[in-house]
Amino acid sequence: MKQFLSVHDVDDVDALVAEALRQKASPFSSEELGRHRTIGLVFFNSSLRTRLSTQRAAQNLGMQVIVLNTGQDAWQLEFADGTVMDGGSAEHIREAAGVLGEYCDIIGVRAFPSLKDREDDEREAVISSMVRFSGRPVVSLESATRHPLQSLADCVTIEELRTVRRPKVVLTWAPHPRALPQAVPNSFVEWMQRREVDLVVTHPEGYELSPEFMRDTAVEYDQAAALSGAHFVYAKNWSSYSQYGKILRHDPAWMVTAEKMAATADARFMHCLPVRRNVVADDAVLDSPASVVLQQAGNRIWSAQAVLKRMLEAL
Ligand code: CP
């Protein structure tokens, strides 16, 4: 695998999920593969799970790991070409990415959207500049529009826990006090489209995801109708795509509660974390046996390990 920016970089999703499960069963079976190889993890935004799970995965494969938090530790970067750099930015991404390429065999990048200018966010300037100027394979640690390592971990979790051949998977919008990106739901939808599931997306009107991601995925505006018969309930907030980056209303009635979970087909509750308790989902859901959020977070290691293994094999 030459890069991992989206599901479109994966030939066979089923095989990659199986690889993640093999890595989980035997975490050190490929520890020679990454010997004398270095991964650089570059964070333009905060992280707990992605940072630590990718580190663990790389270490299990025998790799060295270096981490750069650009906000605190690095020079402020310029991304536009032809700029006269007489302002706050001390370094251009052309040099910064090139230098990272000198130090690392694989580069991971996290760069959230601004949520101010949709076209600008969709250009994915940070991650695409890293691909262009580093000369190294790049793995997305969440970009402006996608979070593929999270989605692969979600696929692994559903594979482990499904009780029927073709489970009903419901992605439900949930409230949140801050405007959040569409990256997790976008990615979840495009990965689920490659799995044997019945996917339904439910949200209040105005929170429609980009048609580029939704394609012909079913939308149900009535959350109760959507949850009926669900085997998996995946809660996530996102801001509006049409009124880009906006919170349109506060909709506390969309919180996932124990009562709503009781109306499903004994569904498992999923969330990518971090989760705001009693805003996105109530304590009774998060503390119930139905919640698999920790298993899901644990599977971030094995999804990263499967991807890094494929990238190391292609070096
Ligand atoms: N789910 C996820 O990406 O968590 P972090 O933001 O903590 O990495």
Predicted confidence (pLDDT) per residue in 186-212, tens digit: 999 999 999 999 999 999 999 999 999
Task: Write down the pLDDT at residue 250.
Answer: 83
CA of 105 to the centre of ligand 1 (A): 23
Mutate to test the pocket of ligand 1, among 49, 109, 176 (most ligand atoms within 8 A of CB): 49
Residue 184 placed within a domain: yes
Ligand 1 contacts CB of residue 300 (under 6 A): no
Ligand 1 contacts CB of residue 48 (under 6 A): yes
Check whether residue 15 and residue 129 sit in a common domain: yes
**Continuous segment of H or E residues that includes residue 170:** strand 168-173
CA of 274 to the centre of ligand 1 (A): 7
Residue 136 placed within a domain: yes
Pick left, alpha or beta for residue 106 (phi over 0 → left; psi -120 to 50 → alpha; otherwise beta). Answer: beta
Predicted confidence (pLDDT) per residue in 145-157, tens digit: 999 999 999 999 9
Check whether residue 286 and residue 187 sit in a common domain: yes
Residue 40 placed within a domain: yes
Check whether residue 12 and residue 136 sit in a common domain: yes
Check whether residue 278 and residue 184 sit in a common domain: yes
Domains in the chain, number: 2
**For residue 40, what are the CA distances in angstroms to 63, 132, 135, 238?**
10, 16, 13, 29
Check whether residue 95 and residue 170 sit in a common domain: no
Does this model's pTM top 0.85? My answer is: yes
Check whether residue 84 and residue 165 sit in a common domain: no
Task: Write down the pLDDT at residue 253.
Answer: 97
CA of 49 to the centre of ligand 1 (A): 5
Check whether residue 136 and residue 163 sit in a common domain: no
Instruction: Please report, in tens digits, the pLDDT of each residue of the chain (315 residues total).
Output: 999 999 999 999 999 999 999 999 999 999 999 999 999 999 999 999 999 999 999 999 999 999 999 877 789 999 999 999 999 999 999 999 999 999 999 999 999 999 999 999 999 999 999 999 999 999 999 999 999 999 999 999 999 999 999 999 999 999 999 999 999 999 999 999 999 999 999 999 999 999 999 999 999 999 999 999 999 999 999 999 999 999 998 899 999 999 999 999 999 999 999 999 999 999 999 999 999 999 999 999 999 999 999 999 999
Angle between helices 125-134 and 93-103 (to 10 degrees): 60
Start-end of H helices in 45-147: 49-60, 70-73, 93-103, 118-122, 125-134
CATH number of the domain enclosing 280: 3.40.50.1370
Residue 94 placed within a domain: yes
Q: Which atom of ligand 1 is nearest to the CA of 297?
A: 1
Check whether residue 173 and residue 207 sit in a common domain: yes
Residue 78 placed within a domain: yes
Check whether residue 152 and residue 256 sit in a common domain: yes
Task: Write down the pLDDT at residue 73.
Answer: 78
Task: Write down the pLDDT at residue 191.
Answer: 98
Task: Write down the pLDDT at residue 284.
Answer: 98
Task: Write down the pLDDT at residue 9.
Answer: 98
Identify the sign of the CA torsion 275, 279, 281, 282.
positive
Mutate to test the pocket of ligand 1, among 41, 44, 45, 50 (most ligand atoms within 8 A of CB): 50
Task: Write down the pLDDT at residue 249.
Answer: 86
Check whether residue 123 and residue 173 sit in a common domain: no
Tokens of residue 162, six digits: 């499904």
**Continuous segment of H or E residues that includes residue 40:** strand 38-43
Check whether residue 51 and residue 116 sit in a common domain: yes
CA of 236 to the centre of ligand 1 (A): 13
Task: Write down the pLDDT at residue 7.
Answer: 98
CA-nearest residue, atom 4 of ligand 1: 49
Residue 2 placed within a domain: no
Q: 189: domain range? A: 148-297
Check whether residue 96 and residue 186 sit in a common domain: no
Residue 125 placed within a domain: yes
Residue 96 placed within a domain: yes
Task: Write down the pLDDT at residue 71.
Answer: 78
